[in-house]
Amino acid sequence: MIEVNLIGTKKQFKLPVIMGVDLGLINFKWIIIVLIFDMLRGTIYENGWKKDNIVHQSKIDTAKQELEKTIEEGKKLEGVKQDVELLEKQELKLNEKLGVVKKIIKIKKNPMNMLLFIAKNLPEDVWVDNIELTNDQLTVTGQAMSYKSIGKFIDNLKESIFFGANNVKLEDSGTGMQSENTNKRSEFFKIKATITRYE
């Protein structure tokens, strides 16, 4: 005898075919596993990227701060550069003025120090009758009690900074009149000297 099962069986659900792809052949378990792994991978990589991004952003921020400091220092240096240029201009002006002062000092002929030197270095028994100053020539005429005193006076003049050793000469000398008080004759002299400096 043949038994016929009249109880209806459940028909298997068949997925449709979309654009030539049979969805029934696709293993959805693996697709779900891949999607979960992809979501986890995104969060894992995203955390790493965020950490890397923070590190790189901090480097960028420090580089920007250093750049700003460098720009500020450059601006300060521009001010210093302008100050240096002003100082150089002032230095040029001062050099010009100094040149003028030096010219004036060279031209300046004040014989006061020279005359003081002559007065201080005049031996006791020598007296001066006349001092004549023409351009840079000095002529001293006077009298002394001895030739030795005249020689000492000439040596004092040669040692001075005003004349120098080669610029002082005895132009004329001789025996003068006898003094009424001492019964001694005086020696007269005439010294010419070329002045090399006044100060």
Q: Which two tokens stand for residue 121?
A: 């270095």
Residue 76 is predicted with a pLDDT of 80
Token pair 């008080």: residue:
181
| DSSP secondary structure code for residue 136 in this structure | T
Residue 178 is predicted with a pLDDT of 55
The stretches in the chain having pLDDT less than 50 are none
Look up the pTM and report it: 0.45
- Structural domain boundaries in the chain: 26-108, 112-194
Residue 74 is predicted with a pLDDT of 82
The CATH architecture that domain 112-194 belongs to is 2-Layer Sandwich (3.30)
Can you tell me the distance from the alpha carbon of 192 to that of 166, in angstroms, rounded to the nearest whole number? 11
Residue 66 is predicted with a pLDDT of 92
Residue 133 is predicted with a pLDDT of 87
